[in-house]
Amino acid sequence: MSAIVSSAFRLAAIAGNTFRESVRQRLFLILALMAAMLGIAAWWFRNCGIVAPQTKFLLDTGFGALTFFGAVVAIVAVAESFSGEIERRTVLAVLAKPVWRGEFVLGKLAGILGLLLAFCAVGTGFLVGWLWWSQTQPTDPLARGFAGAGGASSFAVMACGLVQWLRCSVLAALTLLVATYARTSLLAVMAGFAALAICSLRALVWDAFRFAGPEWARGVAGLVGLVVPDFELYDVADQVAAGGALSTGYLVGITLYSAIYVSLFVALAVYCFRHREL
Amino acid sequence: MKAVELDGIAKVFLPALSGAPFHALTEINLSIAEGEIVGLLGPNGSGKTTLLKIIMGLVAPTAGACRVFGRPSHCAETRSSVGYLPEAPEFYPFLTGIELLRFFAGLAGLAGRIREDRIKEAIALVGLGTASARRVGTYSRGMKQRIGLAQALVTSPRLVILDEPTANLDPEGASDIGEIIRGIRARGGTVLLSSHQLDQIEDLCTRVVLLNRGRLVASGTIDELLQSHRENTLVVESLPEADESELRVWLANRGARLRSAPFARRGGLERVYLAAAHRCYSDESECP
């Protein structure tokens, strides 16, 4: 068996184990339940009419839950399955087998991306289910709200789900980079949430200093703009909820943008972990 | 071929922000032949675990070279012939014992029928039985130690490195571990064992290595070590308490020491160990 094939087997074994272990954890179940409860609450309040029309309100809430809980799952899953494994010394037994440290990092990330994909697929599936139901129940007032003029298409909702998964993947890779040298899983969690805040506010900082600030601040803003991914680019839920579609160009662009950042963060994570004392 | 060769190994841990560097290991030279069972002894913090991690390639030495079966220890391929049980391991709590062993065997490149047969053998060897179908999170400390040993042995390694294998085990469990180690030796395997169970080391090991404060302070067979630490012991009965201090002074003037009774009563390897450890604890200048 060639070295590449056996390396792929080990990577798949680590990814599969990470996915299985994460899915079986109570925390993941609790987060999924909380997301479902938020969906039920949105359903309950759909007729209030104080926030937005029914379709937009339900999709906004659904994508909001997907984005928020997806970010929590990404950060906690990385901290638990990577930093936690170092804290519990399980990593020593794993790396005592013929496993390269890079395989361990990549396997962990692949397992977590699988977990996030499952999470986003289930959430998006619920939203698409609502749309499908609205098309088959044209006499129901709620269904009319869903299927009315300018209603979102199933394809746009699925595409939006994919975009949310890409955002979670970038966040997971960034948290993984921090976790490769964080001493505790708590530190990894805190740094993960800090990274989420920085990436979400990145556009704001960029705009504030890019053109108006002093020379040095513009330089720093430029550097931050290069290193930190801009999570505002993933905020397309409003557009989809309002009945807009996501262009193929945008989808290809955001996929490449995410792939570049994930690759960069993973490469740095592998480098850091290779030099870490266990 | 030598199973393990350590040549001038040193390890210095640098402080994260400030403070003095910590010399965990200093100038360790050691060679372990295939088929040997070597006991690694030393007080807490003497550098045993760091040394084992260096042999496993998990920690890079600051200086020196480490080879396992003639290959550098940091290469992943080297570890395919080594089984390792870390100190107080915690494994994936949501996997069953069998799933856990399947995972570790898969990492070592085992698959299909061979993998399943090896898993069955390892489970039988460590005596987990039907508990292997339960989730690891429900295991007692002793059972976790057994599943840890099973993952180290599932690949039938030529060298087995065990860091405190009998910690948290009841006497029966410790005795079982002893039998497993004898089994490894019977089929020509090599074992490097770190433990505080001196009677077990004395019973199992063909050679003992003593570490203290990062230095190798003694090495040899049990008999060699006992010879080098031979002392004349006089047991004094019914000595009036008032005369004890006078006796101490008298002995001190002749270069001898009066030890407390529990210390003096200990024998064999334990006395060698305590003498080596005591020497460093009582005189800081002797050790780094």
pLDDT band at B178; cut points 50, 70, 90: confident
Instruction: Provide, as residue numbers in chain B, all residues whose Cβ is less than 8 Å from the Cβ of A10.
Output: 106-107, 109
pLDDT for residue A43 is more than 50: yes
Rounded to a whole number of angstroms, the distance from the CA of A177 to the nearest CA of chain B is 19
| Closest-CA residue of chain B to A104 | B107
For the ranges A51-60, A238-247, B2-11, the maximum mean pLDDT occurs at B2-11
pLDDT for residue A128 is more than 80: yes
Q: Which pLDDT value is given to residue B103?
A: 94
Rounded to a whole number of angstroms, the distance from the CA of B250 to the nearest CA of chain A is 52
CB contact (8 A) between residue B107 and residue A98 = yes
Least confident of A242-251, B26-35, B273-282: B273-282
Average pLDDT along chain B: 84
| Closest-CA residue of chain A to B16 | A183
A179 exposure class (CB count in 10 Å sphere: 0-12, 13-18, 19+): buried
pTM comes to 0.83
Rounded to a whole number of angstroms, the distance from the CA of B136 to the nearest CA of chain A is 12
**Closest Cβ–Cβ partner in B84, B95, B155 for A93:** B84
Closest by CA to A112, choosing from A68, A163, A168, is A168
Instruction: Provide, as residue numbers in chain B, all residues whose Cβ is less than 8 Å from the Cβ of A21.
Output: 92, 94-95
pLDDT tens digits for range A71-89? 999 999 999 889 989 998 8
Average pLDDT along chain A: 84
Rounded to a whole number of angstroms, the distance from the CA of A81 to the nearest CA of chain B is 9
pLDDT band at A53; cut points 50, 70, 90: low
Are B272 and B210 in contact, with CB atoms under 8 Å apart?
A: yes
CB contact (8 A) between residue B86 and residue A92 = yes
Amino acid at the residue A116: L
Q: How many CB atoms lie within 10 A of CB B167?
A: 16
Q: Which two tokens stand for residue B175?
A: 């005795």
Name the DSSP class of A49.
-
**Is A20 in the B-facing interface, judged by CB distances under 8 Å?**
yes
Least confident of A53-67, A152-166, B254-268: B254-268
CB-based burial, B216-227: b 16+ in 10 Å, e otherwise: bbbbeebeebbe
Least confident of A107-111, B173-177, B282-286: B282-286
Q: Which two tokens stand for residue B273?
A: 């160990």
CA B251 from chain centre, in angstroms, equals 37
Phi, psi of A157 (to 5 degrees): -65, -40
A239 contact partners, CB below 8 Å, separation of at least 6: A246
pLDDT for residue A170 is more than 80: yes
Q: Which pLDDT value is given to residue B184?
A: 86
Residue from B107, B110, B161 to probe the interface with A (highest A Cβ count within 10 Å): B107
Q: Which pLDDT value is given to residue B174?
A: 83
Q: How far apart are CA B24 and CA B12, in angstroms?
A: 6
pLDDT for residue B285 is more than 60: no
Residue from A97, A181, A187 to probe the interface with B (highest B Cβ count within 10 Å): A97
Q: Which pLDDT value is given to residue B286?
A: 43
pLDDT tens digits for range B74-103? 888 888 889 999 988 889 998 999 999 999
Closest by CA to B82, choosing from A92, A96, A3, A100, is A96
CB contact (8 A) between residue A9 and residue B88 = no
Q: Which two tokens stand for residue A238?
A: 């409003």
For the ranges A55-69, A158-172, B86-100, B161-175, the maximum mean pLDDT occurs at A158-172
pLDDT band at B229; cut points 50, 70, 90: low
- Tokens 């009036």 correspond to what residue? B240
Q: How far apart are CA A31 and CA A168, in angstroms?
A: 15
ipTM of the complex: 0.81
CB-based burial, A53-69: b 16+ in 10 Å, e otherwise: bbbbbbbbbbbebbbeb
Instruction: Provide, as residue numbers in chain A, all residues whose Cβ is less than 8 Å from the Cβ of B13.
Output: 277
Rounded to a whole number of angstroms, the distance from the CA of A273 to the nearest CA of chain B is 11
Domain residue limits, chain B: 2-226, 232-286
pLDDT for residue A226 is more than 70: yes
pLDDT for residue A103 is more than 90: yes
Q: Is the torsion defined by CA of B211, B217, B219, B225 positive or negative? A: negative
**Between the CA of residue B269 and those of A11, A278, B185, B197, what are the distances in Å?**
46, 32, 21, 10
Are A62 and A20 in contact, with CB atoms under 8 Å apart?
A: no
Instruction: Provide, as residue numbers in chain A, all residues whose Cβ is less than 8 Å from the Cβ of B78.
Output: 98
Are A271 and A247 in contact, with CB atoms under 8 Å apart?
A: no
Are B78 and B68 in contact, with CB atoms under 8 Å apart?
A: yes
Instruction: Provide, as residue numbers in chain A, all residues whose Cβ is less than 8 Å from the Cβ of B92.
Output: 17, 21, 90
Instruction: Provide, as residue numbers in chain A, all residues whose Cβ is less than 8 Å from the Cβ of B83.
Output: 96
**Closest Cβ–Cβ partner in B59, B79, B92 for A97:** B79
**CA atoms within 13 Å, Cβ hemisphere of A107:** 26
Rounded to a whole number of angstroms, the distance from the CA of B24 to the nearest CA of chain A is 13
pLDDT for residue B266 is more than 60: no
CB-based burial, B21-49: b 16+ in 10 Å, e otherwise: eebbbbebebebeeebbbbbbbbeebbbb
**Closest Cβ–Cβ partner in B58, B76, B103 for A92:** B58
pLDDT for residue A149 is more than 50: no
pLDDT tens digits for range B19-56? 788 888 999 999 999 989 999 998 888 899 999 999 99
Q: How far apart are CA B246 and CA B233, in angstroms?
A: 18
Q: How many CB atoms lie within 10 A of CB A162?
A: 18
The three-state secondary structure class of A2 is: coil
Are B55 and B73 in contact, with CB atoms under 8 Å apart?
A: yes
Q: How far apart are CA B37 and CA A172, in angstroms?
A: 45
What would be the CATH architecture of the domain defined by B2-226? 3-Layer(aba) Sandwich (3.40)
pLDDT for residue B228 is more than 60: yes
CB contact (8 A) between residue A89 and residue B89 = yes
For the ranges A207-221, A238-252, B257-271, the maximum mean pLDDT occurs at A238-252
Q: Which pLDDT value is given to residue B265?
A: 46
CB contact (8 A) between residue B94 and residue A21 = yes
- Three-state helix/strand/coil letters over A206-269: HHHHHCCCCHHHHHHHHHHHHHCCCHHHHCCHHHHHCCCCCCHHHHHHHHHHHHHHHHHHHHHH
User: If contacts are CB pairs under 8 Å, which of residues 33-92 in chain A contact chain B?
Assistant: 88-90, 92
User: What is the per-residue DSSP string for chain B?
Assistant: -EEEEEEEEEEEEPPSSSS--EEEEEEEEEEEETT-EEEEE--TTSSHHHHHHHHHTSS--SEEEEEETTEETTSGGGGGGEEEE-SS----TTSBHHHHHHHHHHHTT--HHHHHHHHHHHHHHHT-GGGGGSBGGG--HHHHHHHHHHHHHTT--SEEEEESTTTT--HHHHHHHHHHHHHHHHTT-EEEEE-S-HHHHHHH-SEEEEEETTEEEEEE-HHHHHHHT--------S--HHHHHHHHHHHHHTT-----HHHHH--HHHHHHHHHHHHHHH-GGG--
Instruction: Provide, as residue numbers in chain A, all residues whose Cβ is less than 8 Å from the Cβ of B148.
Output: 93
Total residues found in chain A within this entry: 278
CB contact (8 A) between residue A93 and residue B106 = no
Q: Which pLDDT value is given to residue B171?
A: 82
CA B15 from chain centre, in angstroms, equals 26
Are A100 and A7 in contact, with CB atoms under 8 Å apart?
A: yes
CB contact (8 A) between residue B90 and residue A89 = yes
**Closest Cβ–Cβ partner in A20, A92, A97 for B107:** A97
Instruction: For residues A171-195, give the mean pLDDT.
Output: 92
For the ranges A7-21, A42-56, A207-221, the maximum mean pLDDT occurs at A7-21
The three-state secondary structure class of A71 is: helix
**Closest Cβ–Cβ partner in B82, B91, B94 for A24:** B94
User: If contacts are CB pairs under 8 Å, which of residues 88-127 in chain A contact chain B?
Assistant: 88-90, 92-100
